[in-house]
């Protein structure tokens, strides 16, 4: 899958309400398919195997959360990134979407440029994961090797302060080259990726441990629980405490077996 032959499935019962966003998607080099009912979206996800799905929440008959549960039970579709694109902005709805395993939650009121940026990020991340699984050992390019080494190093050192120069030196390159690799391979800066990784790790700690907010903040490199809470809320639309309560009340593994 190259960036130019990606296939995006948009599932929305009122596409006229997202006309500007659809135009922005179609203005790229991607193939865009539209489904206007949940059932049609399920069938097209199963038959077309898109590289990424943009999914509305509030749809008649079967809502986006129920459809997301079903899609994650399809063997050939369960690894497809699902991004909720919706007007459902309440903390409860955001939490439900994140607990279903969606990789992102985007409001329909966002700027087209923001939507495109997030789609690019998740396509690149999915492509990197796919390449890691499919490429024989020894086949990755030098840039891919440097990228993997840097990501592994950063993940192990989330709690420690470090500079771009230190990361680059530790993986055998220099700061500008490492920045270029992250932009080319992932479509984001090194520190943007670090922020995403910190918040991803925080979600694991919130659900899988009883650590307090200050302890989690320290584990992932934030100066204080206040800074961590602010960053989490700005990115995900809910507080860490809200996310923890919701995730523990309805584990993803249970939701996935309820059906539509």
What does the pLDDT read at residue 140?
62
Contact at 8 Å (CB) between 84 and 58? no
Sequence-separated (6 or more) residues with CB below 8 Å from residue 71: 42, 45, 53, 77, 78, 80, 82
Rounded Cα distance between 116 and 15, Å, is 17
Average pLDDT of adjacent 10-residue blocks, the chain of 260 residues: 74 93 91 92 89 92 83 77 85 76 84 90 75 50 82 86 87 90 89 90 91 94 93 89 82 40
Sequence-separated (6 or more) residues with CB below 8 Å from residue 21: 85, 108, 110, 112, 115
What does the pLDDT read at residue 250?
54
What does the pLDDT read at residue 257?
41
What does the pLDDT read at residue 253?
41
- pTM for this entry: 0.60
What does the pLDDT read at residue 160?
83
Rounded Cα distance between 139 and 105, Å, is 34
Contact at 8 Å (CB) between 238 and 231? no
Rounded Cα distance between 127 and 137, Å, is 17
What does the pLDDT read at residue 254?
40
DSSP code for 107: E
**3-class state of residue 137 by DSSP:** coil
Rounded Cα distance between 95 and 242, Å, is 8
In the chain, the domains with their CATH numbers are 7-131 (3.40.50.2300), 135-249 (1.10.10.60)
Contact at 8 Å (CB) between 53 and 100? no
What does the pLDDT read at residue 56?
93
């Amino acid at each position: 899958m190259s960036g130019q032959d990606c296939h995006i499935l948009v599932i929305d019962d009122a596409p006229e309400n997202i006309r500007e966003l659809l135009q922005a998607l179609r203005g790229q080099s991607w193939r865009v398919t539209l489904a206007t009912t949940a059932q049609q979206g399920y069938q097209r996800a199963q038959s077309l195997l898109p590289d990424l799905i943009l999914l509305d929440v509030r749809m008649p008959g079967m809502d986006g959360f129920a459809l997301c549960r079903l899609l994650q039970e399809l063997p050939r579709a369960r690894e497809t990134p699902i991004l909720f694109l919706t007007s459902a902005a309440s903390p409860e709805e955001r939490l439900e979407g994140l607990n279903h395993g969606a990789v992102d939650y985007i409001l329909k009121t966002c700027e087209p440029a923001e939507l495109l940026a997030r789609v690019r990020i998740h396509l690149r991340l999915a492509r990197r994961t796919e390449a890691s699984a499919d490429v024989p050992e020894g086949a990755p390019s030098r840039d891919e090797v440097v990228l993997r080494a840097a990501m592994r190093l950063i993940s192990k050192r989330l709690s420690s302060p470090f500079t771009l120069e230190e990361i680059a030196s530790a993986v055998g390159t220099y700061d500008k080259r490492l920045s270029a690799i992250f932009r080319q391979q992932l479509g984001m800066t090194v520190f943007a990726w670090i922020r995403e990784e910190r918040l991803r790790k925080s979600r694991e700690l919130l659900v899988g441990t009883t650590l307090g907010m200050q302890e989690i903040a320290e584990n992932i490199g934030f100066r204080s629980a206040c800074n961590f809470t602010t960053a989490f809320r700005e990115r995900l639309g809910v507080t860490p405490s809200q996310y923890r309560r919701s995730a523990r009340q309805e584990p993803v593994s249970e939701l996935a077996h309820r059906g539509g």
